[in-house]
Amino acid sequence: MEMKELFDLALKAAEGSYSPYSGFPVGAALLCKDGSVVTGANIENRSYGLANCAERTAIFAAVANGKREFTALAVATPKSDYPVAPCGACRQVISEFAAPDMPVVFGPSWDNRVDTTCAGIYPYDSLHELAKN
Shortest separation between residue 68's beta carbon and ligand THU, angstroms: 21
69 part of the active site: no
Tell me the one-letter amino acid at 83: P
Alpha helix segments (H runs only) across 74-122: 88-97, 118-121
Q: How far is the CB of 30 from ligand THU (least distance, A)?
A: 13
**Partners of 72 in the β-ladder:** 31
Q: Is the Cβ of residue 37 or residue 41 nearer to ligand THU in the bound state?
A: 41
User: Which residues in the 10-49 window bind ligand THU by CB under 6 A?
Assistant: 19, 22, 24, 26, 42, 44
Note the residue count of the chain.
Answer: 133
Q: How far apart are CA 121 and CA 15, in angstroms?
A: 25
The separation between CA 63 and the C-alpha centre of its own chain, rounded to angstroms, equals: 13
Stretch that binds ligand THU, among 6-14, 59-67, 81-89, 113-121 (CB under 6 A): 81-89
Residue in 2, 15, 44, 55 annotated catalytic: 55
Catalytic annotation, residues: 55
